Each structure stands twice: as structure tokens, then as C-alpha cells.
């Protein structure tokens, strides 16, 4: 397929009931659940004692003015259906003149799993997303809907194994939420990961920011809830503030000199 226009920063949000369908039953008491936000819209609840993450704002921008941007009060019936339905997404892309999209997962949800110390739950959550996005969402047209393989946060050896698994499975790239070594900063030991990625010709993506390997999913959920209260800060780029520092560290570590691809 020839591509003329590619959206390099596409996103999805999981549909209601998705986690129950793709996670083992023994985890169903812990799956993210759709609840009502404070204005009657839909939101994802990760912890009973932490405010839920509203689905508005990032799913409702098409055809709306700045004054109409809000986090709260939007439901799955009122957001753009293409956010969670692959066939609808293709229709929206055709309308916009977009040939293909690179798709990233919701990091609010991914950190719920990558921040968990329950390794089995951690693995199951990431696998559930990777299965849903390929077998359901992108199955509508894999040549136009191109998802990135979400990497877990389980250390260097596991990261290399997952990288090889993604390549074998035909994925076009992977996304890192945490450094390969699962430590606070990039280090020389990560070279094994970069070397394998280069040998496999597998693009490695970072979206918004990349963090250390500390597993504190609840704190991440709290911070996500707080960000919903600061709409101007979100639009002004506050959530992206840490990325220049992270990228500077990666550049000055020499990664791109040692692994130019």
C-alpha cells in the first residue's frame, strides 16, 4: 500500500467490557471498570479510593471548538466512535484524508498494569491490550491501522524477549513506558535492548514521556486524576514537561551514536 498522509500520533481508548473479555477471570475483580464521572459522563475506575479517569478531552476534539473541550460529561455514546472501534476509525480517517495511523495505547491505563508488582497481573494486562488492539481494533484494516506493541516493565531480559516476540509477531514497532532496565534512568546495560532492536530493524517509540521502573500504579492513577483538574495545564503541555529531560539523557548517554538506526 502506498501512503501519502500518515498520522504518526494516533490513539485509542478501550471499549467498555474489553478487560473482562481479554483478561483471565481470576483478575476480573481488579480490571478497570467504566463508571460515571462527576458530570454524568463515563470514566475508567482503577482504584475504589482514587477518582476515576474521565474519557473526555482526548476523545472528543474532532469538530469541536476550544470552548467545548472538557474532561467530564462525555460518554461512549457521545465521543468519537473511532476512538474505540476500528471500522469507525477508518471512516474518520478517510474523511480526513489520512491513509494510515500509528496507534498508541492509553498510558493512563497501561501504567495501571506496568506499575503493578503482581507480575502475573502485570503480564496479563499488557497481553490483553496487545491482543485487543491487533485482533479487534486494527483487524478492520491492518495496513491502515498500525498499532505499537506495548512493552511491559519487567527488566532487561524480559524486555529483550518481548522485543523478539513483537518482531516475530509482525508488529511494526514497540512503545516503551519505562526504560528497558526498569531502573530510574537509561544506562549502559540497556545497550543489549537497543542492539537487538537495531538488529531486528524494530522501531522503538516513546510517547509523552518515559519513566523509571518503579512500580507504583496507584500513585500514577492519582496523578492522572489530578491532571484532569488542570485543563489549561494539559493544553499548555505540562504533562510533556519531563520529556525534554528524558530525551536529553538518552542523547547524552550515546545511545544514538552507538545504535544509529
CATH number at residue 125: 3.20.20.140
Identify the domain containing residue 119 by its residue range.
81-258
CA distance 249 to 146: 29
pLDDT digits (tens, 9 = 90+) for 2-25: 899 999 999 999 999 999 999 999
CA distance 206 to 204: 7
Classify residue 136: in a domain, yes or no: yes
Q: How many domains does the chain have?
A: 1
Please check whether residue 60 is in contact with residue 11, taking contact to mean a CB–CB distance below 8 angstroms: no
Q: Which helix (H) or strand (E) holds 34?
A: strand 33-36
Classify residue 2: in a domain, yes or no: no
SS3 24: coil
CB count within 10 Å of CB 241 equals 12
Please check whether residue 11 is in contact with residue 104, taking contact to mean a CB–CB distance below 8 angstroms: yes
The pLDDT of residue 217 is above 60 = yes
Q: Which of 128-137, 199-208, 229-238 has the lowest mean pLDDT?
A: 229-238
Please check whether residue 175 is in contact with residue 76, taking contact to mean a CB–CB distance below 8 angstroms: no
pLDDT digits (tens, 9 = 90+) for 48-72: 998 898 888 777 667 777 777 778 8
pLDDT given for residue 153 in this prediction: 94
The pLDDT of residue 171 is above 70 = yes
Classify residue 48: in a domain, yes or no: no
The pLDDT of residue 77 is above 80 = yes
Classify residue 52: in a domain, yes or no: no
pLDDT given for residue 219 in this prediction: 74
* CB crowding 72-108: b at 16 or more within 10 Å, else e: bbbbbeebbbbbbbbeebbebbeeeebebbbbbbbbb
| pLDDT interval class at 237 (50, 70, 90) | low
Cell for 25? Answer: 477471570
Q: Nearest 5°: phi and psi at 208? A: 70, -55
pTM: 0.91
Per DSSP (E only), the strands in 93-219 are 100-104, 145-147, 149-150, 174-178, 204-211
pLDDT given for residue 15 in this prediction: 96
DSSP conformation letters of 182-228: -SSS--GGGHHHHHHHHHHT--EEEEEEEE-S---HHHHHHHHHHHH
pLDDT given for residue 122 in this prediction: 96
Classify residue 97: in a domain, yes or no: yes
The pLDDT of residue 246 is above 90 = no
Average model confidence (pLDDT) across the chain: 89
Classify residue 253: in a domain, yes or no: yes
pLDDT digits (tens, 9 = 90+) for 107-144: 889 999 999 999 999 999 999 999 999 999 999 999 99
Classify residue 171: in a domain, yes or no: yes
| pLDDT interval class at 184 (50, 70, 90) | confident
**C-alpha 253: how far from chain center:** 25
Classify residue 176: in a domain, yes or no: yes
CA distance 86 to 195: 34
Amino acid at each position: 500500500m502506498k501512503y501519502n498522509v500518515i498520522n504518526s500520533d494516533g490513539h485509542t481508548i478501550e471499549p467498555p467490557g474489553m478487560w473482562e473479555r481479554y483478561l483471565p477471570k481470576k483478575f476480573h475483580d481488579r480490571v478497570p471498570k467504566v463508571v460515571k464521572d462527576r458530570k454524568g459522563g463515563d470514566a475508567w475506575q482503577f482504584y475504589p479510593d482514587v477518582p476515576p479517569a474521565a474519557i473526555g478531552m482526548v476523545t472528543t476534539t474532532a469538530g469541536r471548538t476550544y470552548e467545548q473541550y472538557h474532561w467530564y460529561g462525555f460518554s461512549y455514546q457521545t465521543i468519537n466512535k473511532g476512538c474505540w472501534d476500528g471500522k469507525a476509525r477508518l471512516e474518520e480517517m478517510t474523511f480526513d484524508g489520512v491513509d494510515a495511523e500509528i496507534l498508541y495505547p492509553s498510558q493512563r491505563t497501561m501504567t495501571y498494569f506496568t506499575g503493578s508488582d503482581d507480575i502475573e497481573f502485570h503480564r496479563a494486562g499488557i497481553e490483553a491490550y496487545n491482543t485487543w488492539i491487533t485482533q479487534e481494533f486494527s483487524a478492520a484494516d491492518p495496513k491502515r491501522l498500525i498499532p505499537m506493541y506495548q512493552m511491559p516493565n519487567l527488566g532487561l531480559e524480559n524486555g529483550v524477549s518481548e522485543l523478539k516476540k513483537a518482531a516475530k509477531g509482525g508488529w511494526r514497532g514497540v512503545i516503551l513506558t519505562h526504560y528497558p532496565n526498569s531502573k530510574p534512568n537509561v544506562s549502559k546495560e540497556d545497550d543489549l535492548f537497543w542492539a537487538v532492536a537495531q538488529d531486528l530493524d524494530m522501531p522503538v517509540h516513546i510517547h509523552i514521556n518515559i519513566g523509571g521502573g518503579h512500580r507504583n500504579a496507584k500513585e500514577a492513577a492519582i496523578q492522572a486524576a489530578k491532571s484532569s483538574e488542570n485543563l489549561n495545564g494539559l493544553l499548555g503541555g505540562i504533562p510533556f514537561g519531563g520529556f525534554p529531560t528524558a530525551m536529553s539523557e538518552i542523547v547524552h548517554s550515546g545511545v544514538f551514536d552507538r545504535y544509529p538506526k
